[in-house]
Amino acid sequence: MPSRAGTAGADLERRDCAEAVTETTEAAAVTDETPEVLLKVSGLQKHFPIRKGLLQRQSGAVRAVDGIDFEVRRGETLGVVGESGCGKSTMGRLITRLLEPTGGSVEFEGKDITHLSAAGMRPMRRDVQMIFQDPYSSLNPRHTIGTIVSAPFKLQGVTPEGGVKAEVQRLLSVVGLNPEHYNRYPHEFSGGQRQRIGIARALALNPKLVVADEPVSALDVSIQAQVVNLLDDLQSELGLTYVIIAHDLSVVRHVSDRIAVMYLGKIVELADRDKLYKSPMHPYTKALLSAVPIPDPKRKAAKSERILLRGDVPSPISPPSGCRFHTRCWKATEICRTTEPPLLELIPGQQVACHHPENFADQAPQETVLLTEAKQAAELVADEVLAESAETSAAVAAEVEATPNEPENKPEAG
């Protein structure tokens, strides 16, 4: 008959094994639930040199992208917004390696592609494609649509099953164009149709990541909806991962899972879509969202008047010290002028680079850190000013939450 000590030891061993199995199962479940990181960008920079004089000596540099960090998970859509000149398009060309970075790194599927040669990048081109902004200048007017869409096959030395012509006609059908228009030229198509041709070309090699640079900005509003819905449908059908660059916040809200807000070469806020639109933390994000028209007469009484920023965007040749937004920010204090705020995750799913972020009640742990840094660097903004800002933010957030969300009726792709 086994002793009590032996029985207790066996029970303890079984309990330890069960706990170990449970922990392993939970860890595996977390791993399964978390999508794989497809693209990782760290400290990415692009400075364009300014040369003057007869000898073309460098006299300065345009800091188009100046140290940005983000990740894109497989199957998601990251939207990138900001006003003209903030570095969005340059960032898109850097991650597709159409431009050589000045600094930082770009990793695709765990492989560093930052400094790959043209020959080294050729295999990667099958997995990373770009949709360009202008559907008029991005298509060669001397080539037929069949030649344009089949160009990736020729460059990669690939012959699709069934032949090039059959595959091109299939791609045209996928993007909603008549396959029989294979031999037509770009000038015979409208702007929206030309953008669809650009999308078909980007999809030719079954890419994993598609970077769309302002894909609808040059199109009529009614056509914009069709192209946006097409991109949405293609992602569902083909499992694509998108980085969509735009300045239209309505378009970005429709297609994105997460959104990065850029200002003067920096990411100032990166958050889940719903959190960003419901409770923006950075003053610049708040100003951008205030410019979005709200077609709802019930919202007239809400504190949602447009925020007019003072002054112009500073030059990227000589950006301001500290926080780059401090020259136009209504909350700026001395620390904003002297110390650059890091991009911190103040609440789960929302990162912000600001010394005085909005919604103070939601971020007590990080608030202490930021205020401690402020005390060491400069004098603080008055407590009553911070309290008033927090009350205003809370009032706007409450008004937004109280407004019922109407279901979005997506127009069908034409």
**The CATH homologous superfamily of the domain defined by 37-50+60-256:** P-loop containing nucleotide triphosphate hydrolases (3.40.50.300)
0.85 cut: is pTM over it?
Answer: no
Segment 292-307 mean pLDDT:
61
- Domain boundaries defined on the chain: 37-50+60-256, 290-402
Instruction: Report the pLDDT value the prediction gives residue 219, as an integer from 0 to 100.
Output: 84
> Is the confidence at residue 337, as pLDDT, over 80?
yes
With a pLDDT cut of 70, the percent of the chain lying above it is: 75
Instruction: Report the pLDDT value the prediction gives residue 133, as an integer from 0 to 100.
Output: 87
Instruction: Report the pLDDT value the prediction gives residue 307, as an integer from 0 to 100.
Output: 82
* Per-residue pLDDT band at 50 (split at 50, 70, 90): very high
Instruction: Report the pLDDT value the prediction gives residue 56, as an integer from 0 to 100.
Output: 84
> Is the confidence at residue 169, as pLDDT, over 90?
yes
Segment 319-344 mean pLDDT:
93
Segment 28-35 mean pLDDT:
53
Return the structure tokens found at 232: 């949405």
- Ramachandran quadrant class, 322 (left: phi over 0; alpha: psi -120 to 50; beta: rest): left
Q: Is 37 exposed, middle or buried (0-12, 13-18, 19+ CB in 10 A)?
A: middle
> To the nearest whole number, what is the mean pLDDT of the chain?
81
Q: Facing residues of 399 across strands? A: none
Q: Which phi and psi angles does 93 have, rounded to 5°?
A: -75, -25
Q: HSE on the CB side for 394, CA within 13 Å?
A: 9
Whether the CB-CB separation of 401 and 219 falls below 8 Å is answered with: no
Task: Give Cα separations from 42 to 144, 308, 327 (angstroms).
Answer: 40, 33, 27
- pLDDT tens for each residue of 82-140: 988 899 999 999 999 999 999 999 999 999 999 999 889 998 999 999 999 888 889 99
> Is the confidence at residue 1, as pLDDT, over 70?
no
Lowest-confidence pick of 55-59, 235-239, 256-260, 268-272: 55-59
> Is the confidence at residue 18, as pLDDT, over 80?
no
- pLDDT tens for each residue of 340-350: 999 999 889 99
